[in-house]
Amino acid sequence: MGDLTPFAPWLDRWGLAPDGEPFQTSYCKNWLIPVRRGDAPAMLKIAASDHEMAGARLMAWWDGDGAPRVLAIDGEALLMERIPAGRSLADMARDGGDDEAMRILSGVGDRLHAPRPRPLPGGLFPLASWFRALAPAAAAHGGVLDISLETAEALLADQRDVVVLHGDLHHNNVVDGGERGWLVIDPKGVLGERAYEYATTLCNPDAGLALAPGRLARQAGVTVYPVRGPGFDPGGADVPRWMAKIHCYHLDVQWETFIAHLRRGAATAAPHRPAQGTGRHHHGPGWCRWLRQDDAGGRAVPRRRHSYGSQDLRRRMGESRVRA
């Protein structure tokens, strides 16, 4: 058994027995360990940042509706139900089910954004804070980052339909909850415009798929639908603005095709519906990590994505056996 020091106070306080090896996520540096409380499998998470603690409070606020149930919470420590391993949205997307995976993600977003009859959780971060690294990056490197900064500032200054956001909704942060539908993990606790959540899904599950020719245009009717109201005008100013600015994340090569697709009749596309058994990646700072500046032409080109640890966490959510 690995080092239990990060977990010791809560293992004792909450009467938990280790039920697997502890591990640390590669990007956010959170500590997690599968545990049992009595006969019930659970996951103990020790947050490494204020965003992660805000996400834990948000999970408690969701109260099991669209996310694993929170069993206990204390400062940086979160005890949540452990979801058995099931289908993977990232694998689904890569195995020919890209549109279906996006419909599921959109349905998950709908469920999370639905109003709750209780006060908002405390300590949510404004969406603008998710872009704090953009201005110094634009000043240092210019190019596509200048365009991104100008666009982000305009959108953030005029947010509409502000809701509580997961903040990092992507394929590897959604787990198969069986009869309870698809459930999110690893929220960041953000407050901002609803369309942001859907726009970021288009940058996932990886750069190869996100940048595939025609992909953005093909998915316009899939992803745009949840945030366009009944009076949506696909050729006018009502095009959801966050998605209309996806070209700032190096998807600009498909921009004209995207608009043309909307004008040809995406407004008449059937509403997305979660797949049978489902319920009713990438966050702001991560977008720029997909880009590097080409030394020859000054054009932003894809770079290797960082590993954020979500896939490892999703897999381990389903582990239940004790390992020596």
pLDDT digits over 157-180, tens only? 988 889 999 999 999 999 999 999
Catalytic residues: 168
Nearest CA to 204 out of 63, 52, 60, 102 is that of 102
Predicted pLDDT at 11: 97
Residue 159 and residue 73 share a domain:
no
Residue 141 and residue 15 share a domain:
no
| Residue 69 located in a structural domain | yes
Residue 97 and residue 76 share a domain:
no
Q: Which residue has the higher pLDDT, 201 or 68?
A: 68
Residue 149 and residue 178 share a domain:
yes
What mean pLDDT is predicted for residues 313-317? 52
| Residue 214 located in a structural domain | yes
| Residue 138 located in a structural domain | yes
| Residue 118 located in a structural domain | yes
Residue 293 and residue 183 share a domain:
yes
List pLDDT tens digits, range 95-118: 999 999 999 998 899 899 999 999
Residue 136 and residue 281 share a domain:
yes
Predicted pLDDT at 276: 32
What mean pLDDT is predicted for residues 50-73? 96
| Residue 321 located in a structural domain | no
Residue 9: which CATH number? 3.30.200.20
Predicted pLDDT at 121: 94
Residue 266 and residue 167 share a domain:
yes
Q: How far is Cα 65 from Cα 87, in angstroms, rounded to an integer?
A: 19
| Residue 12 located in a structural domain | yes
| Residue 322 located in a structural domain | no
The mean pLDDT value of the chain amounts to 75
Helices then strands (H, E): number in the chain? 14, 13
Residue 268 and residue 187 share a domain:
yes
List pLDDT tens digits, range 238-294: 445 676 554 444 333 343 444 444 444 433 333 333 333 332 233 333 333 332 222
pLDDT band at 301 (very low <50, low <70, confident <90, very high): very low
Predicted pLDDT at 231: 53
Residue 252: which CATH number? 3.90.1200
Number of domains in the chain: 2
pLDDT of 19 higher than 50: yes
Between the alpha carbon of residue 289 and those of residues 113, 142, 244, 292, the distances in Å are 27, 15, 21, 8
Predicted pLDDT at 225: 59
- Helix residue ranges per DSSP H, the chain: 8-13, 50-62, 89-92, 98-113, 134-141, 144-156, 194-201, 207-210, 215-218, 220-223, 241-244, 255-265, 284-287, 310-316
Do residues 314 and 177 lie in contact, with contact meaning Cβ atoms separated by under 8 Å?
A: no
Predicted pLDDT at 230: 53
Predicted pLDDT at 138: 85
Residue that has been written with the tokens 């109260």 in this structure: 63
Predicted pLDDT at 275: 32
Residue 275 and residue 133 share a domain:
yes
pLDDT of 317 higher than 80: no
Q: 164-177 in b/e burial notation, b at 16+ Cβ within 10 A?
A: bbbbbbbbbbbbbb
Q: How far is Cα 23 from Cα 143, in angstroms, rounded to an integer?
A: 39
User: Whole-angstrom distance between the N-terminal and C-terminal Cα of the chain?
Assistant: 5
pLDDT of 65 higher than 90: yes
Nearest CA to 25 out of 184, 185, 183, 203 is that of 185
Q: Which of 82, 107, 136 is the last residue of a domain?
A: 82
Q: Which of 56, 82, 108 is the last residue of a domain?
A: 82
List pLDDT tens digits, range 202-249: 888 988 888 888 887 777 667 765 555 555 554 544 445 676 554 444
Q: Which residue has the higher pLDDT, 322 or 35?
A: 35
Q: Which of 29, 53, 82 is the last residue of a domain?
A: 82
Residue 126 and residue 77 share a domain:
no
The domain in which residue 27 lies consists of: 5-82
| Partners of 300 in the β-ladder | 293
Q: 12-44 in b/e burial notation, b at 16+ Cβ within 10 A?
A: eebebebbbebbebeebebbbbbbbbeeebbbb
Count of CB atoms situated within 10 Å of the CB of 269: 15
Residue 120 and residue 32 share a domain:
no
Residue 221 and residue 106 share a domain:
yes
What is the share, in percent, of the chain residues with pLDDT greater than 70?
Answer: 68
Q: How far is Cα 25 from Cα 30, in angstroms, rounded to an integer?
A: 5
| Residue 264 located in a structural domain | yes
Q: How far is Cα 296 from Cα 286, in angstroms, rounded to an integer?
A: 24
Lowest mean pLDDT segment, chosen from 145-149, 212-216, 313-317: 313-317
